[in-house]
Every structure is written in structure tokens, then in C-alpha cells.
Amino acid sequence: MRAFSGWLPLSLALVLGCSPPPPSSPAPAKYPGEMGSTPDTSAGEKEAHDGTSAHAESAEGARSEAIDAAEDDRRLPHLSRFFAALHELARGQRSSHVRILWLGDSHTAGDFLTDQVRRDLTRIVPSGGPGFVTLGQKGQRHGALTFERSGSWKRQPRDPATQIPLSDDTLGYGGVRTLPQSGAGARVTPKSARVKQAELAYRLRPGDSLEVRFGDSYRRLTASGQFPRIERTSFSLPPSDERSPFVVRHLGGSPELFGLDLTTREPGLILDTVGINGARMRTPLAWSQETFVNEVRLRQPDLVVVMYGTNEVFDRRDPKVYEEDALELLTRVRAGAPEVDCWIIGPPDARTAAGESQPRVVLITEAQARAAERAGCAFTSLFELMGGPGSFDAWAKASPPLARPDHIHLTVQGYEELGRRLSELLLRSIALPEVPSEDHP
């Protein structure tokens, strides 16, 4: 893979001779077979945390051997502002959260890979909470939250992965708006008692109303004449509050919800998982540019991660087009956060029916690497990080499997392993010691 040598010497060095060790744990959770699906999380949670210490030790050994063979320069380039922000946070010199906006497809949407990165980074800095989530979507998962919903819900667009703008393309930060129907509700419960702040983004026409509760706080929200602008309502719990759920319930009309932000009161690291099943690089380009830029401006992420490409592998467009798509998306993010650092991550390996790597994986990866160079972003190839040509087949044949039979997705353990390898790249570059263990959201 000489084509990448100018952009990712570290990720290449990490994977030389580093096929994933087979973990010893129960069989992986079931995934739907079609492209763009997210893991079934009911069994996945058990799989994610039942791995034996032998698997952990062998995985760490394989990663360490590969890293020992790396070049002396082990820093990811172009992330100096993000690393400086983490150093400030670690020294207690930060007055605001350090936020990562992680955009991607189904590899991101399940929050297995991203949650592994989140947990690894919060070994060296405090957590700032779960961050952004949408509400009322079936099958939602976030490593730091539990979700419940009741009644009937609608979602706009019906296919959030669409690349065609809606006539009303106001889709906020997460690319989707959800509409609870009569009597419907949603409950989001943090797994940590340190989460004390919540902000709900919504939109109401005359006649629309919502009931919102967080801890002992209750509000009835009605139209304020701001439509079609997105409005917000914020809550802050007292220090004595114990792990209160955030609850929203339909009262009348057709209220629209654009997502919830859950954070700690003290500064910490937040990783916003904004993944959509079946999404492509052009998916967020179909969202209202003005609205998305404003959402980014409000949150001021310190790092944006762009991790698309798998669905593009199965398209017929010239791979060079995706280079321009990536640059256009980064332009929008930087319109809201001009100082943000960026990290483009190329797609993982995918398998043909004959057991070989999909040939367009390399072409898409090369296009994204060129975009990263032009935009001044760090770049990492998941294809190389998995082991290069034929790695998907090797991961699928591991015992238990690290990749799914659909030839596209990984198992929960596979995503966590890939997340650990990405974390290793970051942690080697940051060079911060671990903080004492504490209750991280």
C-alpha cells in the first residue's frame, strides 16, 4: 500500500504483521445482514464485556509488538490544537469541555468503536458526559446511556442516509428530527451520577406542546413564535441529585425533537457519536447548511472525525468525487468551528463473495487520504489498521469471529478492537499519563 506512505506512516507501522488475535469469549451478537445496519445490542452488551483476560492480554501483546516496530515519529499530524486542549483538561486548566464530533456510517452508529475510544481517552482526562444523542429512535445505543421509548414515533427523513435534501432540510446536529405521536414518550438515563446538565433541541408550531422532566425540574413547552428556528431548553441538577433520567412526553400537536445534550458540570471530554446507518460522505451535505453550521458553532468541537467510505465502496461513482465530498463537508464544519482539528479515517476492509478484499476499498481510501492532505487533516486507514488485503476474511475466521458473515460489518468485539487501535494512535500522540480511576459518564 505504498500509495498511503505519505499520509499514514504510523497506522501502517501499527498493522505490519498485526492480524487480530482471536479473543476467548462468548459468540458475538447477531447483526442484521444488510449493508448499513447496526448491531443487535441486546446480546452485544454481554459480548462487549464478557471477554476473558487472556484475550485482552493477547490483543495488547499484538498491538504492542506492532507499535514497537513503528517509526520514531509516532504522533498523528495536524491535531496539535486538540492535543493541547487535552493537556489543559488534564492539568485542570480548562474552563470548557473538550468535544469531539464523530461523523460516520453504521460503523459509527452502534457506538461500539466510538465508545471504546471514549473510554480509552477518559483514562487520561475526565469525562464530560455522554454528549449528543437523538431521541425516540428504535434500536438506539450509547455506551454511557440507556434508552426507553413508548408509543408511536415518526422520523424525518424516513431514510436518514438520504443524499437528497428535504424541502424542509432543518435536521440539526444529528441529521434527523423525531416526532412523538399522541401520548408517546422517551426516557434517557445516564449510567453515571456525574451527568448534571441537559439541553433539549426542539421546534414547535402553534398548538404543539411537550412535557419535559429532568430530576425534580418539570417544564411544559409550547410554541414561542420562533418557528422554523430550533429552540433549546436547558436543565442543571444539584450536586446531590442521583442519576436522574431525562424524560420527554408528547402533549399536543406535532412537536419536533432534534436531540439531547447530556454533560457534566465540570469540564471534561465529550465524544458526540453522529453515525447514520447507510450514510455516505454526501449524507450530511443534504442537511441545511445554515442550521448545521450553527449547531457546530454552538458546540465548538475541538476535533472532527470523518469516518465514511464503506457504502461508497458499493457505489459506481468515480472515487475522486469522494475527495471533493470530504473537502466540502470539512468546509461546512470549519464554517462553524474555524479552529477545529480534523481526522479523516478511511473505510475498513470489506469482503467479496470469493473471500478477497473489495477492490474499491483501496480506491476510496486513497481519495480520502488525498482529501486529508489537502485539508490539513490527520489520516488513518482502517483497511491498513485491520491488516490490509484479506484482513476482513481473517477477522471473520477468528474464534470467536471479529467480523460478520455479511462481509461488511464487524462484531461487537471487532469494533472494540478497532476502537482500541485508533485509541492507541491517539494515546501515543498525546503522551499523557492515565488519571486515577473514577466514575466516568
Least confident of 49-63, 377-391, 427-441: 49-63
Would the CA dihedral through 139, 31, 110, 59 be positive or negative?
positive
Convert 84-95 to b/e letters by CB count within 10 Å (16 or more is b): ebbbbbbeeebe
219-251 pLDDT tens trace: 999 999 889 999 999 999 998 888 899 999 999
- Residues for the chain: how many in total? 441
- Predicted confidence band of residue 436 (pLDDT cuts 50, 70, 90): low
Q: Is-contact 351 407, C-beta < 8 A?
A: yes
Cβ-proximal residues to 285 (8 Å cutoff; 6+ apart), any chain: 163, 325, 328, 329, 332
Q: What is the pLDDT of residue 22?
A: 34
Mean pLDDT of the chain: 86
Q: Is-contact 313 361, C-beta < 8 A?
A: yes
Count other Cβ atoms within 10 Å, centred on residue 159: 13
- H or E stretch covering 307: strand 303-307
pTM of the predicted structure, to 2 decimals: 0.84
For residue 219, what are the β-bridge partners?
212
Q: Identify which of 264, 265, 262, 282 has the alpha carbon closest to the alpha carbon of residue 273.
A: 262
Q: What is the pLDDT of residue 345?
A: 98
User: What single DSSP character describes residue 374?
Assistant: H
134-176 pLDDT tens trace: 999 999 999 999 999 999 999 999 999 999 999 999 999 999 9
Q: Is-contact 218 240, C-beta < 8 A?
A: no
Q: How many CA atoms lie within 13 A of 5 on its CB side?
A: 4
Count other Cβ atoms within 10 Å, centred on residue 316: 6
- Predicted confidence band of residue 98 (pLDDT cuts 50, 70, 90): very high
Q: What is the pLDDT of residue 240?
A: 87
**What domains can you pick out in the chain, each with its CATH number?**
1-128+267-432 (3.40.50.1110), 132-159+166-265 (2.60.120.260)
Q: What is the pLDDT of residue 435?
A: 58
Q: What is the pLDDT of residue 434?
A: 65
- For residue 345, CA distances in Å to 104, 319, 385 come to 10, 15, 10
Q: How far apart are CA 292 and CA 260, in angstroms?
A: 15
- H or E stretch covering 256: strand 256-264
Q: What is the pLDDT of residue 39?
A: 44
Return the residue matching grid coordinates 488534564: 90
Cell of 66: 506492532
Q: How far apart are CA 13 and CA 325, in angstroms?
A: 28
Whole-number percent of the chain with pLDDT over 90: 77
